[in-house]
Amino acid sequence: MKLTVWTYEGPPHVGAMRVATGMKGLHYVLHAPQGDTYADLLFTMIERRDHRPPVTYTTFQARDLGSDTAGLFKRACQDAYDRFKPEAIIVGASCTAELIQDDPGGLAETMGLPIPVIPLELPSYQRKENFGADETFFQIVRHLAKPAEKTARVSCNIIGPTALGFRHRDDVQEITNLLYELGIEVNVTAPMGATPGDIARMGQAHFNVLLYPETGEQAARHCEKTFGQPYTKVVPIGAGATWDFIEEIRMLSGSTAQIDSDRLRQSWWSRSVDSTYLTGKRVFIFGDGTHVKTAARIARDEMGFEVAGMGCYNREYARDVRTLAKEYGVEALITDDYLAVERAIETLQPEMILGTQMERHIGKRLGIPCAVISAPVHVQDFPARYSPQMGFEGANVIFDTWIHPLVMGLEEHLLHMFREDFEFNDAAGPSHHGGHAAPQAAPAPDAAAAAAPQDDNVIWLSEAEKELKKIPFFVRGKARRNTEFYATERGLHEISLDTLYEAKAHFAR
Amino acid sequence: MNDQMTPPPALGCRSAPVLKQRGQREVFCGLTGIIWLHRKMQDAFFLVVGSRTCAHLLQSAAGVMIFAEPRFGTAILEESDLAGLNDAHAELDREVETLLARRPDIRQLFLVGSCPSEVIKLDLSRAAERLTQLYAPKVRVLEYSGSGIETTFTQGEDACLASMVPVLPDTQERNLVVVGALPDVVEDQMLSLLADMGVGPVQVLPARTIDADVAVGPNTVFALTQPFLSDTHAALVRRGARHLAAPFPLGEEGTTAWLAAIAAEFGVTQDTFDAVTEAPRRRARQAVAQAAEALDGKSVFFFPDSQLEIPLARFLTRECGMTAIEVGSPYIHDEIHGPDLDLLPAGPQISEGQDVDLQLDRCRAARPDLTVCGLGLANPLEAEGLSTKWAIELVFTPVHFYEQAGDLASLFARPLRRKRILNGPALEAAQ
Ligand code: SF4
C-alpha cells in the first residue's frame, strides 16, 4: 500500500484508451465499474475531443457480482459490436474487473464475432498508463500487422503518437513534413489516426520512426523482428537531436536530399547577445524519461543552462536517466511521488524548473519559474496554435516556452540596479506577465530560506539578512545557498555582510 | 405566504411512469464527493483505500489540482496487499500512522472503501474500530463506501454523512438538524434566515469541525438541503429523528417552500415568515427573471448524474419558463423527491438509471435546446450542435437558497447566451 495524492500516470487501462481513442474503427470493451467512465472526460475535456472515446464500459455493480458479470460483459461486447460496427475490438479489464477474474479475452473469443478480437492483459496493480499504451499497441500490431511486400518508394511508419499525448498532434505533422523533405513517404502513422486496416499494412514500410518510446517501443521491436524494419533511436526534440535524427534517417533510407533549415531560428536566438543572461542558469529537469533526456541536452548544449538535477517518474526509463545523469554529474531522481520531487527542488533551489504540470505547481509554491516539457497533460498542453516539440519548429517553440517564465536579460540588470525602487522591484515579477505574477511567488523563497540556517547551524546576521532581501527573488535562493555553502566550508557559524560579498566574489563567474 | 406563490400544477410528475433501462451508466462513483467534502470539513482527512484508478479519478474530477496539500489521498493497493488481507490491514495501519504523524491537525479520519477494497473484502469497519481505539480521543476514525459498485457520484456524500450519524451524541432536546454539505457562505445565509424566524437551536451536518455540537434524539427534526441523502435520512430516522419533507431550496420557490415547512413545524407566524423572507424573495425573483430571459420557452433534457435533476427541472420549468423533455436521475426516492415531483408539471419522461447509448439516441432525436450532462458527453454533444451544461458544476458551485437563485439560472443560461453571441455574426452574415 502506498499513499498517493497526485499521480504522474493513470492506470494501464487509461493507456489502452489512449491507443483506442487515437485510432479509428477500433472499439474497446472494458470490464469496469461505472465510476471508471470518468476517463472519458480526459479526452473530451482535456483534449477537447468532439467524440466520445470508442469505449464501452460494462459498469457492473455490487449486485451483479454474485450473479453473472461474465454475461454482462458478453452483452456489452455484442451491443458495442452491433452499434459501432468496428473493424476490430480490444477487450480488457480495469483494476476491479481484474480481481473478479472473468477473463474478458476468453469470453469475447467464444462469441464468434466476425472481426478480430484482441485480448489485453494489463496488470493494474503493478503497471501504469504508459505501459498500458505500449502493451496495447503492441498487441494490436502483433494481431493485425501482416508481412507484406515493401513499397516501391522508400517509406516508413511513424510509431507512438496516441490520443492525449503531450503535443503528439503537432509533432506528427512536423516530422511528417521533415520526412517528406527527405523524400520519404509515410506509410502508416499509428496508433494516432490509424484504422485496423492501416495496421495490417504496416509491414510494407522500409523502416519505422519511433517518436515516443514510452508508447511504441514494444511495437517497434516487434516490427524489427517480424518484418525486418529497423527503427530510429533518436527522438528529434531540440536542434541538435533533430540534426542527428536527419542523419539517422539518411542512414536508414539512403536519402541525400538537402534540408532547408532556415526556419530553425532557435540556434541564432540562443546565440544572440540578448540571450547571454541565460548562461549558467541552474535548471532542474523532471518528466517522462524521453522528454527529460532530450530536455537535458537542449538545456546544456543549446541554451547554455547548468543542469542542476534531473529525474523521471516512469521507472521503465530509470536506467537511461541514471546513465545520463551521471554524464551530467548529477544524481538522478527516479520517483512517482511528487512530494519527493518537491523536496529535491527545495533542496537544490534551481533558478528554473523544466517539468510537468506537477512541477509547475511546485514551482508556483516555491517561487521558481517553470516551463512544462512533458506529460501528464493539462488542458493548457493542447493549445489551439501549432506548437510541436519536435523538429526545427519544435526547437523554436521550446526556446520561446522556456524563456517565457524568466525575467529577461536587461530587465534582470535593471532589477539589480534599482532593487529598492518601490515600483520596479522583484515583487513586480517578469514585466511581460502583468503585475500579479510575483506577489505570491516572492514570499516563498524567503519562507523556504528562513528555515535553512537552523539546519546547517549557520546564523545570518541581521545586516546580511537585510542585504539578501534586496537581491531579486529569482537569484535569492541561489545566493543564500552559495553563501551558506561558503560559510560552512570555512567553518563559519555566522554570516555577515562581508561573508555575503566574499561568497559572491568566490562564486563569481 | 401564498399570495405570491405559483399554484402547483393540476397534474405533477409524482405518479408518472418511470422509464428504467439497464446498460452502460456514464456517471462518476461516490469517491468524487471527497472533492467538496474535504473542503467543508476542515479537520477531516479522507483516505481512499483503492487502486491507481481511484487516485486518478480524484485527480481528474478535481479538474485542476488543488495544490494546497489536499486533505485526501489514496492508499493504493499493491500486488502484495491482494495476497493476504492481514498484511493489508497492517499496511493500512502503517499508512495511517505516518499520515497522522505528518498531519497533527487532523481530528477525523474517513477510511473510504473503493471497488477493489470491496471486491477483496477488506473490512474497513474493522480497521476503523481498531484505529479509533488506537487514536481516540484525539482522532475519530469512521469508514464508508465511495465505490463505483455501490455508489453513484453524490451518493458518496450520503454514505459519508450516514457514517457520522451513529456516533452523534444523544440529546432529548428539541432541535433542527440541517443535513447536506453547503458552501460556508450559503450555509451562513440559511442559518441567519432561520435565526431571524426564531427557529432554533439549529445544527448542521456535516459541521465544519468535529467540535461542533450536533446531537440527535427523539425530539430532533431534520431537513435535507440535498436530494441525494437517502441513507443519511434512514440513519437519522433510526435515531428517532423526524424528517420535514419539502421541495429542495433551489430557486425562489424551492427555498420558500423549504423554509415554510420548517416554519410550520416551529410555529413561526405568517407575519414573521413574510417579514424575514420578503426582501430576499424579491431579490431572488428579480435575479432569476433577469437570468432566465435566455431560458424562457426553451427545452431541457437531463442525463442522470447527481440526483439534483428533479428539483432542478422543477426550478427551470416553474421559475425560468423552460419545458422539460426528459428528467433522468440515477435514483428516485419518493420520500425525498416526491414534493418536487408534485410541483413538476406532467409531461417530461422521468427516467431512473441509464443505458447511455439509448438515452443519447433519445436526446439526439429530441434535439433539446439545453442538455444537462456529464463531462464525458458535453463536448461530443456540442459538436453535434446541442448546447450543454455540465452537471458537475452544479455540485461545485453555490446554488442553494435565495441569494444564489439568480446564479443558478445563470449557470443554465450561459451556454445559451454564449451560443447566441458566437452565432450572432454568422447569422447576420447569412441574412
Ligand atoms: S469506480 Fe471503483 S475503481 Fe473506479 S475510481 Fe471509483 S471506486 Fe475506484
Query: Residue A377: which of A138, A189, A214 has the closest Cα?
Result: A214
**What phi and psi, each to the nearest 5 degrees, are found at residue A402?**
-75, -35
> DSSP letter string over A270-305?
HHSGGGGGGTT-EEEEEESHHHHHHHHHIIIIIS--
Nearest by CB to B53, from A36, A40, A358: name it: A36
Is residue A442 predicted with pLDDT exceeding 80?
Answer: no
For A7, which of B56, B72, B383 is closest by C-beta distance?
B56
CB burial string B265-287: b at 16+ within 10 A, e below: bbebeeeebeebbeebbeebbeb
Please report, for residues A274, A277, A305, A338, the alpha-carbon distance to residue A367 in angstroms, rounded to integers and kept in the order given. Answer: 24, 19, 19, 17
d(CA A303, CA A59): 50
Chain B contact present for A125, CB below 8 A: yes
Q: Do A124 and B375 touch (CB under 8 A)?
A: no
Burial annotation B390-404 (CB, 10 A radius, 16+ → b, else e): bbbebbeebbbbbbb
Phi and psi angles of residue B245, each rounded to the nearest 5 degrees, phi first:
-70, 140
Q: What is the pLDDT of residue A5?
A: 85
Would you say the C-alpha torsion A290, A294, A299, A301 has a positive or negative sign?
A: positive
Neighbour-count burial of A258, counting CB atoms closer than 10 A to its CB (0-12 exposed, 13-18 middle, 19+ buried): exposed
Please say whether the dihedral angle defined by the alpha carbons of residues A188, A189, A193 and A199, taken in this order, is positive or negative: positive
Kindly report, residue by residue over A33-45, the tens digit of the pLDDT. 999 999 999 999 9
Sign of CA dihedral A91, A95, A96, A101: positive
Q: For B83-90, which contacts have Cβ atoms below 8 Å and span 24 or more sequence positions? A: B85/B120, B85/B121, B85/B122, B85/B123, B88/A1, B88/B120, B88/B122, B89/B122, B89/B126, B89/B127, B89/B130
Give the whole-angstrom CA distance, residue A186 versus residue A156: 5
Across the interface, of B32, B76, B152, the residue whose CB is closest to A4 is B76
Q: Is A144 in contact with A196 (CB distance < 8 Å)? A: yes
**Ramachandran area for residue A281 (φ above 0: left; ψ -120 to 50: alpha; else beta):** beta
Average pLDDT score, chain A: 90
- A274, A400, A421, A456: the catalytic one is A274
Q: DSSP letters of A465-481?
A: HHHHHHS-HHHHHHHHH
Residues ≥6 apart with Cβ < 8 Å to A150: A204, A205, A206
Q: How far is B308 from chain A (nearest CA, A)?
A: 18
Higher-pLDDT residue of A170, B396 = A170
**Contact between A208 and A159 (Cβ < 8 Å):** yes
Rounded CA separation B378/B396 (Å): 17
pLDDT at res. A58: 96
Q: Sorting pLDDT into bands at 50, 70 and 90, what band is A437?
A: very low
Q: Are B227 and B243 in contact (CB under 8 A)?
A: no
Q: Are B411 and B389 in contact (CB under 8 A)?
A: yes
Average pLDDT on A417-443 reads 50
How far apart CA A208 and CA A258 sit, in angstroms, is: 21
What percent of chain A clears pLDDT 90, i.e. is strictly above it?
A: 73
Do the bridges between strand B140-145 and strand B72-76 make them parallel or antiparallel, or are there none, so unpaired? unpaired
Using alpha carbons, select from A93, A109, A87, A83 the residue that is nearest to residue A29: A93
Greatest CA span in chain A, whole angstroms?
83
Contacts of residue A199, Cβ cutoff 8 Å, sequence gap at least 6: A140, A141, A144, A145, A188, A190
Q: Is A385 on the interface with B (CB under 8 A)?
A: no
ipTM above threshold 0.95:
no
Question: What is the rounded distance in angstroms from the CA atom of residue A43 to the CA atom of residue A40?
Answer: 6
As a whole number of angstroms, the distance between CA A33 and CA A36 comes to 6
Among candidates B24, B26, B379 on the partner chain, residue whose Cβ is nearest the Cβ of A48: B379
**How large a percentage of chain A has pLDDT more than 70?**
90
Q: CB–CB of A128 and B79 under 8 A?
A: no
Residue A445 has pLDDT above 50, yes or no: no
- Predicted local confidence at residue A304, as pLDDT: 96
* CA proximity to B181, closest of B42, B289, B288: B42
Q: Which of B9, B21, B27 is nearest to B349 (CA)?
A: B21
Contact at CB, A61 and B150, closer than 8 angstroms: yes
pLDDT the model gives residue A498: 87
Q: Which residues pair with A371 in a beta bridge?
A: A354
Residue with CA at minimum distance from ligand 1 atom 5: B54
Q: What is the pLDDT of residue A443?
A: 37
Question: Left if phi > 0, otherwise alpha if psi is -120 to 50, otherwise beta: which for A383?
Answer: beta
Residues of B in contact with A76 (CB under 8 A): 24
What pLDDT is attached to residue B61?
82
C-alpha cell at A105: 479475452
Minimal CA–CA distance to A113: which of A93, A138, A85? A85
Q: Using alpha carbons, list the distances in angstroms from residue B132 to B114, B149, B210.
A: 20, 27, 14
Q: Is A146 left (phi over 0), alpha (psi -120 to 50) or beta?
A: beta
Q: Whats the size of chain A, residue-wise?
A: 509
Q: Looking at A287-301, A436-450, B360-374, B411-425, which range is the least confident one?
A: A436-450
Whole-number Å distance between alpha carbons of A412 and A430: 9
- For residue range A459-502, list pLDDT tens digits in order: 899 888 888 887 776 677 778 888 888 888 888 889 988 888 88
The whole-angstrom separation of Cα A294 and Cα B106 is 43
A85: left (phi over 0), alpha (psi -120 to 50) or beta: left
Which residues in chain B land under pLDDT 70? 1-4, 63-69, 425-431
Q: Rounded CA gap, B194 and B255, in Å? A: 12
Ligand 1 centre distance from Cα of residue B45 (Å): 19
Our answer to whether residue A274 is catalytic in this structure is: yes
- In A182-238, which residue ranges form alpha helices assigned H by DSSP? 196-200, 213-227
For residue B97, give how far its alpha carbon lies from the nearest alpha carbon of chain A (Å).
12
Mean pLDDT, residues A95-100 taken together:
95
How far is C-alpha B310 from the chain's CA centre? Answer: 12
Residue appearing with cell numbers 497492517 = B90
Cβ burial, residue B252 (10 Å; 0-12/13-18/19+): buried
Interface of A with B in 265-324 (CB under 8 A): none
Residue nearest to atom 8 of ligand 1 (CA): B54
Q: How many Cα atoms within 13 Å fall on the side-chain side of residue A477?
A: 25
pLDDT per position as a tens digit, A62-88: 999 878 899 999 999 999 999 999 999
**For position A451, what pLDDT does the model report?**
39
User: A377: which chain B residues are within 8 Å (Cβ-Cβ)?
Assistant: none
Identify residue B153 by its one-letter amino acid code.
F
Note the pLDDT of residue A463. 87
pLDDT score recorded for residue B220: 97
Distance B374 CA to ligand 1 centre (A): 17
pLDDT of residue A502: 84
**Residue A336 Cα, gap to closest chain B Cα (Å):** 12
CA–CA separation, A81 and A19 (whole Å): 18
CA of B49 to the centre of ligand 1 (A): 10
